[in-house]
Structure 1
Amino acid sequence: MNAKSDIAPNPTLDEFRKVVRSRRSVRRFTNEPVPQDVLDDCLDLAMLAPNSSNLQPWEFFVVRTPELKDRLAEACLGQNAAKTAPVLIAVVARTDTWRQHSRMALEQWPEEKLPGIVEKYYSKIAPIHYNQGPFGLLGIAKKTAGLVVGLSRPVPRGPYSINEMKVWATKSTALAAENLMLALRAHGYDSCPMEGFDEYRVRRLLSLPEKGLVTMVLAAGKRAEKGVYNRQYRFNQDELVHYL
């Protein structure tokens, strides 16, 4: 790997600010399709999101087939964003791919020499850290050990259960979803992340993996006239940002 490739380019702050400030949750879209090359690029950028241990616990299910899209929009409670968007993307967190992705991390390491610490992490540490064991018993044992060891020094606190694994996977997947939304905006398209949906119906419609967690359904397309319902506002930074 060329050392120069590790040097971050100097981004244009004004252009980034335009992308962030112009991203809105759009509720109505035109029927103009999103080109395949745009979708591919946006999904590539989504997958560059930071994530826990680079285990990439996400999957994206892109729905463009009209009949399936209409049924998915119905499962999204008939929201205008879902009904009018030319493409819907189910963003799914996976709690069960860490074993496979640990192996892939070693097999697809991008440098000629695999560092020993990397091999140790994915082959020995990860299989213990993320494994909850039968009936969650290993997770309980790890939590007990963590409580004891944590009395004298800092230790990782979890994930210690299936529910904590869901939180773990969802955090990384949400970061990827944000990358996806910003990438769409940078390409001149818009999006609307939807949490209002019938997860049972979404899972059944898309034949999702048993342990896949639908983090959100993302509507994407070109912003229609009056596609944004209200002016954007946020609470005062002084209320939510704390300097210690």
Structure 2
Amino acid sequence: MDPDSNPLSELIQSRQSTRKYLDKPVPREAIERILDLTHLAPSATNSQPWRFIVVDDPELKVAVAKCLTSPLLPSMNTFAKEAPALIVVVEEAANVAAKVGNLLKKQHFSRIDIGIAVGYLTLAARSEGLDTCVIGWLDNKKIQDILRIPREKTVQLVVSLGYSDDPMRPKTRKKMDKIRSYNTY
């Protein structure tokens, strides 16, 4: 198969972090298809330690978007209020096997699993002609208050979602010999 004609390759190459969105709502049917694919992501011992809260109510969306900025950097993430939808990613409790693995391996597998799931989410969104931006700078407590998320939960990420009004940018990446080796570091 020609790598350039591979549908997954096309999705990956066309996916970019979008910070400018068209004023066009995202159909809930598209969001459902995206989340149907996202929940197929693998997780440690199949614990699926995530919950996705779709925020498409305009007032709630603006309130959550305000939790993605900082007094130190007031212009940071202000684009999020213009996105038609935000997907708040909440870390849920892992199953017992994953918790044991966390302790034995001194690794927080749920966060790794959430990263994998959000990777699926961004590609599933792209397959619907939608664009995303993954946002990690957030005020967990304020988002918990706005969305009535229990205190024992943690908001790990927020993903903006919509139709891009950003031009496609060239991808700048490290050269492969800086990130790849075989059989040794």
TM-score exceeds 0.5: yes
SS of the equivalent of 2:26 reads: coil
Q: Deviations over 1:121-177 (max 9, x none)?
A: xxxxx3xx626xxxxxxxxxxxxxxxxxxxxxxxxxx4128xx57x21111111111
Uncovered stretches (5+) of structure 2, i.e. residues with no partner:
70-75
SS of the equivalent of 2:150 reads: coil
Task: Calculate the aligned-residue CA RMSD, in Å.
Answer: 2.3
Give the alignment of 1:77-96 within 5 angstroms: 77=69, 79-94=77-92, 96=93
Give the alignment of 1:56-71 within 5 angstroms: 56-71=48-63
Equivalence for 1:47:
39
State the distance in 2 between where 1:58 and 1:169 align. 8
One-letter code aligned to 1:87: A
State the distance in 2 between where 1:19 and 1:169 align. 26
- 1:79 shift after superposition: 1.6
Give the alignment of 1:60-139 within 5 angstroms: 60-77=52-69, 79-94=77-92, 96-98=93-95, 126=97, 130=99
Equivalence for 1:187:
128
Uncovered stretches (5+) of structure 1, i.e. residues with no partner:
1-11, 100-125, 132-157
Q: Deviations over 1:83-108 (max 9, x none)?
A: 210000011122x2526xxxxxxxxx
Greater Cα shift, 76-85 or 38-47: 76-85
- 1:228 shift after superposition: 5.2
Give the alignment of 1:18-57 within 5 angstroms: 18-57=10-49
State the distance in 1 between where 2:116 and 2:149 align. 21
One-letter code aligned to 2:144: R
SS of the equivalent of 1:159 reads: helix
Equivalence for 2:177:
238
One-letter code aligned to 1:160: L
Structure 2 length normalisation: TM-score?
0.85
SS of the equivalent of 1:45 reads: helix
SS of the equivalent of 1:209 reads: coil
- 1:230 shift after superposition: 5.2
Structure 1 length normalisation: TM-score?
0.66
State the distance in 2 between where 1:230 and 1:211 align. 39
Give the alignment of 1:155-170 within 5 angstroms: 158-160=101-103, 167-170=108-111
Kept in 2, the 8 Å contact 1:81–1:192? The answer is no
Kept in 2, the 8 Å contact 1:60–1:90? The answer is yes
Q: Deviations over 1:2-27 (max 9, x none)?
A: xxxxxxxxxx9522111001100000
SS of the equivalent of 2:6 reads: helix
Instruction: Number of aligned residue pairs: give it.
Output: 174
Match of 1:174 among 90, 115, 118: 115
Q: Deviations over 1:39-81 (max 9, x none)?
A: 0010010000011111111100110111111111111116243
Greater helix fraction, Structure 1 or Structure 2: 1
Equivalence for 1:14:
6
Kept in 2, the 8 Å contact 1:57–1:172? The answer is yes
| Change over 3 Å in CA distance of 1:228–1:198 after alignment to 2 | farther
State the distance in 2 between where 1:159 and 1:193 align. 25
| Change over 3 Å in CA distance of 1:197–1:230 after alignment to 2 | farther
